[in-house]
Amino acid sequence: MIDLDLGRAVLTLARSAIAEQLGIGRLEAMSHATLEQPSSTFVTLRQAGQLRGCVGSLHRLRTLRDDVRANAVAAAFRDPRFGPLEASELPQTSVEVSLLSVNEPIEAASEDELISRLRPGLDGVTLEYGGHRATLLPQVWHQLPEARDFLAALKIKAGLAEDFWSSGVRVSRYGVVTWKEPDPLKPESSH
């Protein structure tokens, strides 16, 4: 079950951490028992439905409160794919916070076996090989609904060839609970 109070808390926390970093607000004090538990999150920023930043953590090394704050600031100012967010952009930026479950290894002797074990639409997937590592959140299945395409994109993101396979590849999965703000630049449906 999705905790709507926790969702409001993490979204407010993420947005206020960015505003504080920009010097246009202060960090709001949020209260929810879960905020003090070790957690891993991803914070995704969008403008008009387009990605504007996404940074997260896969391991539970800090409290949910600290993880959301750190990842929100990193998504806004340190995602290498984008320039730092400017204060004028914040009102047009929607915030999404994904709370990750614990990573679970997926054992597979071959790429085909791995593909057969992936659960499209449910699994966030992390791939590691040597110094290469990447993850794709479950939300990416909306853009890449075929497991083979999803895995190819994950390998490319990790800096590997899309047809690369080795018995040394390690893959794990995780689930997410996601909360997101409405996109301020997209009118809501009137249905």
Q: How many residues does the chain have?
A: 191
Burial 69-104 (b: 16+ CB within 10 A, else e): bbbbbbbbbebeeeeebeeebbeebbbbbbbbeebe
Q: What is the pLDDT of residue 105?
A: 97
Domains and CATH numbers, the chain: 4-100 (3.30.700.20), 104-174 (3.30.1490.150)
Q: Do 95 and 181 touch, CB atoms closer than 8 A?
A: yes
- Residue 186 confidence (pLDDT): 67
Point out the residues of the chain with pLDDT beneath 50: 189-191
User: What is the CA 24 to chain-centroid distance, rounded?
Assistant: 25
Please report the pLDDT score of residue 1 as a whole number: 57
